[in-house]
Amino acid sequence: MKRLTCTLLATLALASPGRAVEPISPDLSKATTRALLENLSGLPPPIGGPIPEKEHLELRLPLTLTIQGGQEFKGTLSELHEGRIYLRLVQEGGEVILSFPVEEIEQIFFPGGSIVHETIEKVNAGELSEALPYLESIIGARYAFFPILAPENLSFYRALPLTALAVDNPAQAIAYIKAIRPYLTLPEDQRELDDIELLSYHRLELTEETRERALRWIDGTPERFPTSALGFYVLASLQFEAGEYDEALDSALHPIVFSGPIHQPYLKHCYSLAIVSAYILKDPIELERLTTEARERGIEWQPQMVFAAADKGLEEFIITDAEGNPLPLIPDESTEDSPLLEKRGSSNHPAPESDNTL
């Protein structure tokens, strides 16, 4: 504790992360949503509802801070300011606030490891709406520490916007992305946040923002054989919706051209869009080639809502499976749900390096 300073700051208020006052509702108008998203800072109000009180309190128990030399301190965060952590410790006769230079902290041990672990399991099992309140509670307790935590230990939180998307609140997902993006600096985290953000804007039908992000997504994909076709799919889908079928076909074809034996996420979406665009453009050769190729490559047909936007008739368009059974053009109850986000590479969400040490 050679440079550790001990300060009594009884009046120091606990620095809580800035939260917007009103929760983001999926029922808001586009204009309001747009304005809301532009002005958001910090964590948005949670939307997933409460978790059991016991777990809530467990997550908010004092954390353990280990400094160089191995000495441990148990307390709650008072403030993080100018490179120092101010920890509130309960001592006989009252409270004491100790401050520690961030660079001298070796480890922070957060309580509630088992809750985190179970939440990860929920996420990996696809129980996203169930995971959402836990994730919100966890991040609520730990967000203030994000600036000093290693990005490797924050990857786990990229599940949070995804869970918001799962409860059909893309605006909330975007708000979460805004809140966590500055700290999740690993390239794979940034890529996934880009993906979720793009999907969220697309779901919100904020066309201009979506197009801009889809183009940025494509520009930010330097590799010739992209590991995901999401940006191309979203752009093609916007173009299709706008009646720009030629452009839609070109955008959808890009990842099709640059796809190998391992099918990247959203490739099947691109195939479906390309097939329907070729049909509308009355390009029988392209239509036949794409349909045959999709079958040969085992790429399943992907019904899409955007096909309903075709201003030229698709009434006579029939696509069938290998047995000749007609396939739906627009998703219906019989259509299997696609995963919320088709992920590149590993399908599981990363866990913190240790269950409870971040």
Partner 1 sequence: MQPDDCSDSDFKLENTLASNLLSSPKFPFTPTSKRFRHFHISTSLHSKISSFEEAVGHYDSRYSMKPFRVIKRAICAWLFVIAISTPTLTHAAEATNASLTLRDVLIQATASFQSGQYSQAIQFFEQLETTFGNEPQMKDPAIRRIILPAWGYSELATENYSGAIEQFEEYLEEFPEPGNVHSFVLISLAQSEHWNGNLTKAAQHYGEFIQTYPRLPETPLAALNQVDLLFQSQKAEEAYVLSERLFQSRAPGPLRAQSRLRALQVRLEDGERDQAAELLLSTEWSQYELPNLMEMAFAALQIGDSFMTEEDYHSALRSYRLVPPYSALLDYQRQQLQRVSSILGYRQRNPTSTMDSVWLAYYATLVSRLETQLEALESMDDYTPGFLLRYGQAFLGDGRSREARILFRNLALDDTLDSAICQQAHYRWILAEFALKRWDRTLEVAIDFQDRYPDSALAPDALYLVAQAHQEQQKYRYAIKVFDELIERFPDHKLAPRWLFTRGFNLAMLEQYEQSRADFELFARTYPGHPLTTQGSLWHALTHHFEGNYEEALAELQPLAESSRDHFLYPEIRYRIATAHYAIQDYDTARPEIEKFLADFPDHSRSPEAVVLRGDILMGQGELILASAAFAEVTPEADGLFPYAIFQRGKIFKALEMYDLMIDHFTDYLDREDLEIRPRMSEALYWLGWAYLQKGNIDAALLRFDQAFAEYGDDPAATEILPMISSLETLRSELLRNGDQALPDHSLFAAGNFSAWLDDQILLALESNRLTWYSRLKHFQANRARAIGQIELADTILQEIDEKVPLERLDPQVIGQIGIIYSAAGYQYADAYFDYILANYPDHPARAEAWFGKAEILIEEEEWEDADDLLRKFEQQMPLHPLSPQVNILRGRILTNLGFYDDAEKSFEEVLTRKDARGIPHARAIAGLAEMNEQRGNPKRAIPYWQRIYTLYRAYPEPVAEAYFRSAVLFYEIGDPTAAIRSLDEMFKDERLLNSPFAAKAIALRRELQEEMDTLPAPVDTPPSTPVEIQEEPAS
Contacts with partner 1, residue ranges (CB under 8 A):
224-225, 249-250, 253-254, 256-263, 285-286, 289, 292-293, 296-298
* 39-65 burial: b if 16+ Cβ within 10 Å, else e: ebeebbebbbeebeeebbebbeebbbb
The least CB distance from residue 55 to partner 1, in Å, is: 38
How far from 235 is each of 33, 212, 232, 269, CA to CA, in Å?
21, 9, 5, 12
Place of tokens 């992209």: 226
Closer by beta carbon to partner 1, 148 or else 242: 242
Closer by beta carbon to partner 1, 109 or else 258: 258
The least CB distance from residue 213 to partner 1, in Å, is: 22
- Which three-class secondary structure state does DSSP give residue 215? helix
Closer by beta carbon to partner 1, 105 or else 242: 242
Where would I find the beta strands (DSSP E) of the chain? 5-7, 63-67, 72-81, 84-91, 94-101, 105-109
Closer by beta carbon to partner 1, 293 or else 355: 293
Closer by beta carbon to partner 1, 33 or else 259: 259
Return the axis-axis angle of helices 267-280 and 230-241, rounded to nearest 10°: 30
Closer by beta carbon to partner 1, 182 or else 298: 298
The least CB distance from residue 237 to partner 1, in Å, is: 18
The least CB distance from residue 309 to partner 1, in Å, is: 20
In which element (H, E) is residue 256 found? helix 245-257
Beta 94-101 vs 84-91: how paired, if at all? antiparallel
Closer by beta carbon to partner 1, 118 or else 293: 293
The least CB distance from residue 310 to partner 1, in Å, is: 18
CB 99 within 8 A of CB 89: no
Closer by beta carbon to partner 1, 94 or else 298: 298
The values of phi and psi at residue 254, to 5°, are -55, -55
DSSP codes, 133-162: HHHHHHHHHHGGGGGGS-GGGTGGGGHHHH
The least CB distance from residue 151 to partner 1, in Å, is: 23
Residue 309 is given by DSSP the state G
Residue 185 is given by DSSP the state -
The least CB distance from residue 225 to partner 1, in Å, is: 6
